Amino acid sequence: MQIHQVTPGDWELWRDTRLDALASDPEEFGSTLAREQKYSDDDWRARAAEGLKLVALDPRPVALVAASATPEGLYLYSMWVRDSHRGRGVGEVLVRTVLTWAVDEGWKIVRLRVYDHNAPARRLYGRLGFVDAEEPEHMEFRVS
């Protein structure tokens, strides 16, 4: 498996993987497949250029995650692993890559939203050091 950092030049990889994620697990995201299918190529290029975008390849895309700056810290979002690769450590590798990037970039806190009913994701984040935040359905990791 390879972790690929998406650049504006390979925005189509991000688009296609994100649309796969929305089609596969529509209830787990704050957006919809129909909404994002309407984005223009320029919209996708701009999204690929924002923050950090990672896609796991094995050899085709099997997972993704993103992170971007907010006033509260770095926000991890769009975490998704294809059914065929769940339980194989792919999500952990992606999150650890984001956390390493956060340290390298000087971030002090990484936050994310995870629905209370998503027990596997909550366990993953907990294993990696995330704790419940004050805001419901949010967790955070404090960089030491």
CATH assignment of the domain containing 27: 3.40.630.30
pLDDT at 91: 96
Q: Decide if pLDDT at 125 tops 90.
A: yes
DSSP state of 13: H
pLDDT at 129: 96
At residue 132, the 3 state secondary structure works out as strand
Stated pTM of the model: 0.93
- Helices 11-24, 41-49: axis angle to 10 degrees equals 100
Six-digit token string for 91: 């999500």
pLDDT at 30: 85
Asked if 14 and 50 touch (Cβ cutoff 8 Å), the reply is: no
Rounded to whole angstroms, what are the CA distances from 53 to 7, 85, 132?
A: 8, 19, 24
Domain extent, residue 119, equals: 2-142
**Tell me: the pLDDT tens digits for 64-115?**
999 999 988 999 999 999 999 999 999 999 999 999 999 999 999 999 999 8
Count of structural domains within the chain? 1
**Tell me: the pLDDT tens digits for 13-38?**
999 999 999 999 988 888 999 999 99
